[in-house]
Amino acid sequence: MSTKLEKAMYNISALADLGQAITSEDAFHEKIQSVLYVITGTFLANKGAILFYDKSTQSLNTLTQKGFAQDDLDHLNPEELISLGRNKSCLIGDAPVMAVAGAEILAPIWVGDEFIGALLLGGWLTAGPLASEDLELLNVIANQIAIALNNHSLFMDLADKLEDNRRLYEEMRHIYHGTLQAFAAAIDAKDAYTKNHSHRVAKYSVAIARELGWNEHEIEGMYVAGYLHDVGKLAISNTLLNKVTPFTPEERTEIRKHSTLSRNITTKIKFPWKNVEDIVWHHHERLDGRGYPDALAEDSLSDGVRILTLADSFDAMTSQRPYREKMDVQSAIGELRKNLESQFDNKIMLVFCKVLAKEINGELPEPDILPHLDRNSDLSVISDLLEGIISELSAR
Ligand SMILES: [Fe+2]
Ligand SMILES: [Fe+2]
């Protein structure tokens, strides 16, 4: 293989590499710099530059260069370069625009009929004119750089768009969270006894969903459903919500409307999360079909619904209510266990016990359940109880 051909092969493989390595702005600049060194080495030129034409600002940007005075490159007129290079693959000579920068060769870089940059070379170390195969090689190189630059600019456009989308999504999340807190504050204001209930149910539900291996988007949907599950109580009278004596059958029917009301409110909001309405609508259903409002059972209940029914009941039992005292944590866990399969799901219970045990053992850096439990709880008793349930349910 002749030396020139070897050089050409080396050059082209370096450029092909450039086309593939468009993973970040930094990686791209590193690559294009090494490509320029390969090109100047191949042609024994002291000076080289790869320029990128930004059509939105109509300016030439130096992607990389060696040997030129940057100031001279900054003074290149893109319009002149474009008209000089139009329909030409490679220019040798002393056109004024090239002389300004001290360049002897200009290889314009086009993608279709769009000018996207230029390769400049100068400061030859060898005497004599360039051979025709050198010019052919320069053409190949210019075409390769064209592909790389084009891919890169598409990539950067895409990266910009993704960044815009990410920012919009963040803003939207911010608004949602503000809305959620406003709703939760409104519910709390109506019903003093359920203060922070929605917040705790959201936290417990998130802990279970995370332990189940849900992704961050699904977990956030669960959090929102937890926050809003009782939002329908806003439409129930204060007197009824705060009643100390047991409910009459009519009052019970009235208060049970809250899950459908929660669903009616949440359907009005266009959530990016699936199933929020379904979860809030059915958070009082039971596996045995004796829940409300639709007496759904087993297969009709999603994992989201099963998580929320458990989280909701656990918090209801461990909180003070107008008509009864709160239960201690181990009694509440015992109640959940007693109602497995009729009301609560075995798998969700197992996961709940596992995550709470991990929190008690200090295995989770940011516990979601433990900080809300009664401070006087005997954690070693709770731990033993959880271990018992975990081994019993794991064996099934
Ligand atoms: Fe409820
Ligand atoms: Fe609730």
Q: How far is CA 114 from CA 55, 88, 108, 121, in A?
A: 9, 13, 11, 22
User: Does 373 have pLDDT greater than 50?
Assistant: yes
d(C-alpha 70, C-alpha 91), whole Å: 21
Percentage of the chain beyond pLDDT 70 is: 90
Q: Does residue 29 lie within any of the structural domains?
A: yes
Ligand 2 centroid from CA 391, angstroms = 29
Ligand 2 centroid from CA 101, angstroms = 74
Minimum-distance ligand to the CA of 232? 1
Residue 220: band (very low, low, confident or very high) from pLDDT cuts 50, 70, 90: very high
Residue 1: band (very low, low, confident or very high) from pLDDT cuts 50, 70, 90: very low
Instruction: Name residues with Cβ closer than 5 Å to ligand 1, which is an ion.
Output: 230
Ligand 1 centroid from CA 209, angstroms = 19
For residue 305, give its domain range.
Answer: 191-394
Ligand 1 centroid from CA 316, angstroms = 9
Domain identity same for 210 and 348: yes
What pLDDT does 4 receive?
Answer: 56
Minimum-distance ligand to the CA of 311? 2
211 vs 194 pLDDT, higher one:
211
Phi, psi of 312 (to 5 degrees): -65, -45
Q: Are 77 and 97 in contact (CB under 8 A)?
A: yes
d(C-alpha 292, C-alpha 273), whole Å: 24
Which among 206, 227, 177, 209 is positioned nearest to 369, based on CA atoms?
A: 206
Minimum-distance ligand to the CA of 259? 1
DSSP 195: T
Q: Does residue 181 lie within any of the structural domains?
A: no
Q: Which two tokens stand for residue 295?
A: 């007496």
Q: Does residue 179 lie within any of the structural domains?
A: no
Enumerate residues 6+ apart whose C-beta is below 8 A from 391: none
Q: Does residue 153 lie within any of the structural domains?
A: yes
Domain identity same for 145 and 234: no
The alpha carbon torsion through 171, 177, 178, 184 (nearest 10 deg) reads: 170
Residue 266: band (very low, low, confident or very high) from pLDDT cuts 50, 70, 90: confident
> Lowest-confidence range among 65-74, 161-170, 276-285, 289-298?
161-170
Ligand 2 centroid from CA 358, angstroms = 25
Coil, helix or strand for 325? coil
User: Does 2 have pLDDT greater than 60?
Assistant: no
Domain identity same for 225 and 118: no
Minimum-distance ligand to the CA of 199? 2
Domain identity same for 269 and 341: yes
Of 161, 181, 204, the one marking the end of a domain is 161
Ligand 2 centroid from CA 377, angstroms = 23
Residue 9: band (very low, low, confident or very high) from pLDDT cuts 50, 70, 90: low
Ligand 2 centroid from CA 228, angstroms = 9
User: Does 343 have pLDDT greater than 80?
Assistant: yes
CA 360 to chain centroid, in Å, comes to 30
Q: Does residue 118 lie within any of the structural domains?
A: yes
Q: Does residue 177 lie within any of the structural domains?
A: no
Domain identity same for 202 and 154: no
> Lowest-confidence range among 64-68, 141-145, 328-332, 363-367?
141-145
Secondary structure, 3-state, 200-266: HHHHHHHHHHHHCCCCHHHHHHHHHHHHHCCHHHHHCCHHHHCCCCCCCHHHHHHHCCHHHHHHHHH
Q: Does residue 185 lie within any of the structural domains?
A: no
Domain identity same for 202 and 109: no
Coil, helix or strand for 105? strand
Coil, helix or strand for 54? strand
What pLDDT does 40 receive?
Answer: 86
296 vs 190 pLDDT, higher one:
296
Domain identity same for 221 and 298: yes
What pLDDT does 21 receive?
Answer: 47
246: CATH: 1.10.3210.10
Ligand 1 centroid from CA 228, angstroms = 10
Domain identity same for 104 and 197: no
Mind listing the pLDDT tens digit for each residue in 93-135?
A: 767 777 777 888 888 888 878 888 899 998 877 666 677 777 7
Domain identity same for 209 and 125: no
> Lowest-confidence range among 46-50, 180-184, 343-347?
180-184
Mind listing the pLDDT tens digit for each residue in 149-185?
A: 877 777 677 777 778 888 887 887 777 777 777 777 7
Ligand 2 centroid from CA 87, angstroms = 72
Minimum-distance ligand to the CA of 291? 1
Q: Does residue 252 lie within any of the structural domains?
A: yes
Q: What is the mean pLDDT of the chain?
A: 86
Ligand 2 centroid from CA 317, angstroms = 11
Domain identity same for 129 and 273: no
What pLDDT does 175 receive?
Answer: 77
Domain identity same for 260 and 117: no
Directed axis angle between helix 216-228 and helix 197-211, to 10°?
A: 150
What pLDDT does 3 receive?
Answer: 58
Domain identity same for 89 and 49: yes
d(C-alpha 182, C-alpha 205), whole Å: 20
Q: How many domains does the chain have?
A: 2
Of 146, 161, 176, the one marking the end of a domain is 161
Of 110, 140, 161, the one marking the end of a domain is 161
Q: What is the mean pLDDT of residues 27-31?
A: 77
Ligand 2 centroid from CA 325, angstroms = 17
Own/partner contacts of 65-72, CB < 8 Å, gap of 24 or more, are: 65/36, 65/120, 66/36, 66/37, 66/40, 67/40, 67/122, 67/123, 68/101, 68/102, 68/103, 68/120, 68/122, 69/101, 69/102, 72/100, 72/101, 72/102
